[in-house]
């Protein structure tokens, strides 16, 4: 089993993918249930993206299924989401993750701050920064572009 190890970073490190994955689960549940739900309202999707997903993809799938059961119209609204997502407080310390770079611990940093710290530790090397962050080199490159970071 361990001939070719795969590393799957946590969903909280791939916030950009939540919308796409959520839409996939909507399509699956629409086909399975026959409900004509097309997607999430912008407010509901903001809540989904803000949540840290400690249960990763299974928790996301279960949350979409939960919302599907409650939704009656064409869209999933915030009131259809599980309570833990609606009431999530980003300042709740149980959700803050400690990130350590060469002995320096940073708590609750933004994506851009984490990226800048990793790039600094890696002397601008995107592959090493990706290893530090536990993401792919392509993800690092996309985040550099997203945040307008200029490498020297």
Cα–Cα distance for residue pair 11/15, rounded to 1 Å: 7
CATH number assigned to the domain comprising residue 116: 1.10.10
Specify whether the CB–CB gap between 42 and 50 falls below 8 A. no
Report pLDDT for 67.
Answer: 95
**DSSP notation for 86-152:** HT--TT-TTTPPEEEETTEEEES--HHHHHHHHHHHTTT-HHHHHHHHTS-HHHHHHHHHHHTPPP-
Cα–Cα distance for residue pair 37/130, rounded to 1 Å: 37
The H-or-E segment that residue 40 falls in is strand 39-40
Number of domains in the chain: 2
CATH number assigned to the domain comprising residue 57: 1.10.8.60
The token pair at 5 is 């190890």
| Per-residue CA distances from 5 to 1, 35, 41, 135 (Å) | 8, 39, 38, 15
**74 plus 116 within the same structural domain:** no
Report pLDDT for 91.
Answer: 62
Cα–Cα distance for residue pair 8/31, rounded to 1 Å: 28
**81 plus 142 within the same structural domain:** no
Report pLDDT for 1.
Answer: 56
Torsion of the alpha carbons at 128, 146, 88 and 44, rounded to the nearest 10: -140
Select from 64, 86, 108 the last residue of a domain: 86
**138 plus 79 within the same structural domain:** no
Residue 76 lies inside a defined structural domain of this protein:
yes
The token pair at 72 is 């009656």
Give the pLDDT confidence of 113-136 residue by residue, as tens digits: 888 888 888 888 999 888 888 888
Question: Could you list the residue range(s) of the whole structural domain that residue 121 is in?
Answer: 98-147
**114 plus 52 within the same structural domain:** no
Report pLDDT for 2.
Answer: 65
pTM flag (> 0.85): no
- Number of C-beta neighbours around residue 94 at 10 A: 7
């Amino acid at each position: 089993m361990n001939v070719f190890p795969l590393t799957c970073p946590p969903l909280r490190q791939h916030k950009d993918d939540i919308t796409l994955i959520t839409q996939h689960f909507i399509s699956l549940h629409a086909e399975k249930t026959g409900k004509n739900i097309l997607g999430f309202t912008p407010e509901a999707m903001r809540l989904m993206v803000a949540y840290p997903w400690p249960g990763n993809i299974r928790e996301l799938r279960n949350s979409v299924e939960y919302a599907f059961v409650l939704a009656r119209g064409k869209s999933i609204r915030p009131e259809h989401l599980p309570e833990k997502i609606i009431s999530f407080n980003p300042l709740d310390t149980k959700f803050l993750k400690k990130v350590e770079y060469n002995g320096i611990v940073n708590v609750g940093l933004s994506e851009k701050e984490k990226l800048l710290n990793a790039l600094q530790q890696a002397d601008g090397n995107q592959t090493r920064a990706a290893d530090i962050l536990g993401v792919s080199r392509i993800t690092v490159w996309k985040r550099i572009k997203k945040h307008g970071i200029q490498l020297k």
